[in-house]
Amino acid sequence: KTEGPLAGRRVLVTSGPTHEPIDPVRVLANRSSGRQGHAIAAAAAKAGAEVVLVSGPVSLPDPASVTVVKVESAREMLAAVEAALPADLAVFAAAVADWRVAEGAEQKIKKGAGGPPSLALVENPDILATVSRGLARPQLVVGFAAETENVVEHARQKLERKGCDLIVANDVSPATGIMGGEANTVHLVSPGGVESWPAMSKEAVAEALVQRFAAALKVSG
């Protein structure tokens, strides 16, 4: 597209959970519907950007006018993200599993005399931190923080730790209904301070975020 606040911009979005195989039929996963990430990809495309959406397993339709790359594991997600760079803006909305099973079994693990298996876990790559500190760093790098307590304080720490420009923080305590739900209440945490938005639909949050990202890209050139 040649029109819209993100015309001429390349945007990368991650969305959904990752699935880390335990054996051919079982996975370790995070809870994530992918709704917020997919809504951001859709809103960025509507705003004129060329959008690549790298998505873990979700049960959502592909957003219109977006290139969708489907992955399962964190390591596949990192590879797909690196293949999609360079970009002007990257939004990491995926709920990436922090750990994977050190060695996934090649055959289904059988229930039996040995009792339940114990799973040795190893840490997954941090995709957001890798891209934030990488050579092909997009001009604007945005992370998400799903927390159940001290939402803003944790987001501030995350901004530092991950090296991104902005964290969109939300409280995903079960009582909020945000997880898998229609609406979201977010706090934008940047080095400049915190801005808290009222509860809005995930689509409205996506559109407002995209406006914000477009303005930030304009300021920084």
Of 127, 141, 209, 217, the residue at the interface with ligand C5P (CB under 6 A) is: 127
Tokens, residue 185: 């209440």
92 binds ligand C5P (CB under 6 A): yes
In the shown chain, the binding pattern of residues 96 to 115 toward ligand C5P, with x for contact by CB under 6 A and - for none, equals x-------------------
Rounded to a whole number of angstroms, the minimum distance from the CB of residue 15 to ligand C5P is 9
Of 74, 169, 205, 217, the residue at the interface with ligand C5P (CB under 6 A) is: 74
Nearer to ligand C5P, 130 or 139 (CB): 130
Considering only the stretches 91-99, 111-119, 187-195, 210-218, report the one whose residues sit in contact with ligand C5P under the rule CB under 6 A.
91-99
Rg of the chain (C-alpha set)? 18
Rounded to a whole number of angstroms, the minimum distance from the CB of residue 81 to ligand C5P is 8
Residue of 30, 150, 170, 184 with catalytic role: 30
Beta partners for 42? none
Largest CA distance in the chain: 65
- Scan for tokens 């599993």, then name that residue: 97
The site for ligand C5P, by CB under 6 A, has a size of 13
Nearer to ligand C5P, 47 or 168 (CB): 168
Q: Please provide residue 146's backbone torsions phi and psi, each rounded to the nearest 5 degrees.
A: -100, 115
162 annotated among ligand-binding-site residues: yes
Nearer to ligand C5P, 40 or 145 (CB): 145
Of 12, 101, 143, 184, the residue at the interface with ligand C5P (CB under 6 A) is: 143
Nearer to ligand C5P, 84 or 128 (CB): 128
Tokens, residue 202: 């995930």
SS (H, E, C) the chain: CCCCCCCCCEEEEEECECEEEEECCEEEECCCCCHHHHHHHHHHHHCCCEEEEEECCCCCCCCCCCEEEECCCHHHHHHHHHHHCCCCEEEECCECCCEEECCCCCCCCCCCCCCCCCCCEEECCCHHHHHHCCCCCCCEEEEEEEECCCHHHHHHHHHHHHCCCEEEEEECCHHHCCCCCCEECEEEEECCEEEECCCEEHHHHHHHHHHHHHHHHHHCC
Residue 170 is a catalytic residue: no
Considering only the stretches 126-134, 182-190, 191-199, 211-219, report the one whose residues sit in contact with ligand C5P under the rule CB under 6 A.
126-134
List the catalytic residues.
30
Which residues in this chain contact ligand C5P in the complex, by CB under 6 A? Answer: 14, 74, 92, 94, 96, 124, 126-128, 143-145, 158
